[in-house]
Chains A and B, each alone.
Chain A
């Protein structure tokens, strides 16, 4: 699944993907610091809805999976399930230092992370917690990756 789709319809789809990225936020044992910063992006001050970004309740609706936290043993299976439920094309953004390196929890017996040991990660946003600007920058890079990802049209199940 690499390279771009060709054709006029796919140019239209790329435009639509750039302007309508739906996020699903998964807390894999985070301290809530990164979660608060992510929600801040949706507030009137940063207002990412201007470019069509919104937080979705269901992973099946989402395009971008935002993971925060070092992935504790209890959240591992849920993370795998939710990643599997998201339809292609999908992009994973690791928000904060925990999903990237396990941060201060590295070496803990109850931590199964970092995230890229469990699911493929596309964009890392480091920081403890990262500033909203950094998160928005990370998500915009993720959108660019999402827009150019190769995919096929389908109505039924694959």
Chain B
């Protein structure tokens, strides 16, 4: 029974069958809304599907000096680990998952940025290397408040089981922790104020400059899955209650995911790209402060409760 449930989570919902189309729709929605905010009509919401199909049907050009298995393996690693992370999201009540799954979940969520950084270096392009360096800085900076907030939630809930952390963290810890995670979200998704690594035209296409055809399509899919996984992560850890009906849980999860996409798009279309020093300064200052508040709150709740 548990194995079947795990496979359903991995392959159907919130895993591959839901997450890939939903992620591509999120990317389409982002482009459409950004265009509307800028006074343009913009591409259809299904745009990302066309892009992926077109890229899959292109014939890549051979080239010297870069490692082909690595160029195919890294995007596959990003896709695979994100699907694994999606399967571990505590969308439903606390029976799902296992003790300690939060560690695995965070580890899997960290794989795509790592693969992205390695891809930039493996492609041996100067633009890829610049993009990778920026991504490395950004991911270190965003992970400090992100992990601190998660540690605060886990210690306040007194558990390493993600479903239990999601449902039993007290409100005074949950609010600052979720705010800190939300602050990290645009940085982790590399959208505009923090689009340093993939800065269009500035460093060509960042780490993905040398990827073409199906390999680029794999990265598009990894990016789409990353959107569903990270946004889903924030939502599942922000909502304190779970309904007994799985349909209600699923619908709330899906609807809130798309609402969050709209908010992120609003942020992306109303800001300009920051410099690396500005972005990291902003994250240390605000993300760090909120994460410390969450940690202090967790310290006091633990002192009282356990």
Residues of chain A touching chain B, judged by Cβ–Cβ distance below 8 Å, are: 10, 12-13, 15-17, 19-20, 44, 47, 49-52, 55-58, 60-61, 63, 84-89, 151-158
**With A and B bound together, what is the CA distance between A151 and B58 in angstroms?**
8
Q: How far is the CA of A49 from the CA of B54 in the complex (A)?
A: 16
The residues of A that contact B203 with a CB separation of less than 8 Å are: 57
Instruction: Quote the shortest CB–CB distance from A96 to chain B (angstroms).
Output: 21
A154 to B53, Cβ gap below 8 A? no
Q: Which of B165-211 contact A (CB under 8 A)?
A: 200-201, 203-205, 208-211
Chain A nearest Cβ from B75, distance in angstroms? 11
Tell me the smallest distance from the CB of A61 to a CB of chain B, in Å.
6
- Residue of B41, B50, B60 with most partner-chain A CB within 10 A: B50
Report the Cα distance A61→B201, complex, angstroms.
Answer: 13
A19 and B57 contact, CB distance less than 8 A = no
A20-B51, A151-B57 known; A61-B205 Cβ under 8 A: yes
Q: Is the CB of B54 within 8 A of A154?
A: no
Q: B47 at the A/B interface (Cβ < 8 Å)?
A: yes
Number of A-B contacts (CB under 8 A): 113
Do the beta carbons of B59 and A49 come within 8 Å of each other?
no
Interface residues of B in 263-278 (CB under 8 A from A): none
Inter-chain contact A50/B60, CB cutoff 8 Å: no
CA distance A88 to B63 in the complex (A): 14
Which of A16, A58, A155, A157 has the largest count of B CB atoms less than 10 A from its CB?
A58
Of all chain A residues, the one with the shortest Cβ separation from B213 is: A87
Contact A13 B53 (CB under 8 A): yes
Does B68 lie at the interface of the complex (its beta carbon under 8 Å from any beta carbon of A)? Answer: yes
The answer, yes or no, to whether B72 is at the interface (CB within 8 Å) is yes
Q: Assuming A16-B54, A20-B47, is B61 touching A155 (CB within 8 A)?
A: no
- B39-58 contact mask (Cβ, 8 Å, vs A): 1 or 0: 11111100101110110111
Q: Give the top 3 A-B pairs by smallest Cβ distance, nearest first.
A: A157-B62, A16-B53, A57-B204
Beyond A49-B43, A155-B213, 18 additional pairs, beta carbon < 8 A: A15-B50, A16-B54, A17-B57, A20-B54, A49-B35, A50-B40, A50-B42, A58-B205, A87-B58, A87-B59, A87-B61, A87-B212, A87-B213, A89-B59, A151-B58, A153-B57, A155-B214, A158-B60
Q: Is B216 an interface residue (CB 8 A)?
A: yes
A78 CB to closest chain B CB, in angstroms?
14
A87 contacts which chain B residues (CB < 8 A)? 58-61, 212-213
The answer to whether A156 and B72 touch across the interface, beta carbons within 8 angstroms, is yes
Residues of A within 8 A of B216 (CB): 60-61
Q: Is B215 an interface residue (CB 8 A)?
A: yes
A130 to B232, CA, bound (A): 48
Residue in A20, A55, A158 whose CB lies within 8 Å of B59: A158
Question: A155 CA to B216 CA in the complex, in Å?
Answer: 10
Say yes or no: is B243 at the interface (Cβ < 8 Å to chain A): no
* 16 A-B pairs whose Cβ atoms sit less than 8 Å apart in the complex: A10-B57, A16-B50, A16-B53, A44-B38, A44-B39, A58-B204, A58-B209, A60-B210, A60-B212, A60-B216, A61-B216, A87-B212, A153-B59, A157-B62, A158-B60, A158-B61
| Nearest CB of chain B from residue A18's CB, rounded to whole Å | 8
Q: List B contacts of A17 (CB < 8 A).
A: 54, 57
Q: A87-B60, A88-B58, A157-B60 given as contacts; is B205 within 8 A of A56 (CB)?
A: yes
The distance from the CB of B134 to the nearest CB of chain A, in whole angstroms, is 14
Partner of B209 from A60, A63, A158 at Cβ < 8 Å: A60
Task: Name the one of A13, A50, A152, A157 contacting B54, with C-beta atoms under 8 angstroms.
Answer: A13
Interface residues of B in 62-114 (CB under 8 A from A): 62-63, 68, 72
The one of A49, A58, A61, A154 in contact with B42, judged by C-beta atoms closer than 8 angstroms, is: A49
**For the complex, what is the distance from the CA of A15 to the CA of B50, rounded to whole Å?**
8
Residue on A nearest B214 in the bound complex, by CB? A155
Q: Across the two chains, which residue of chain A brings its CB closest to B218?
A: A155
CB distance from B301 to the nearest CB of A (A): 48
What is the chain A residue whose CB lies nearest that of B62? A157
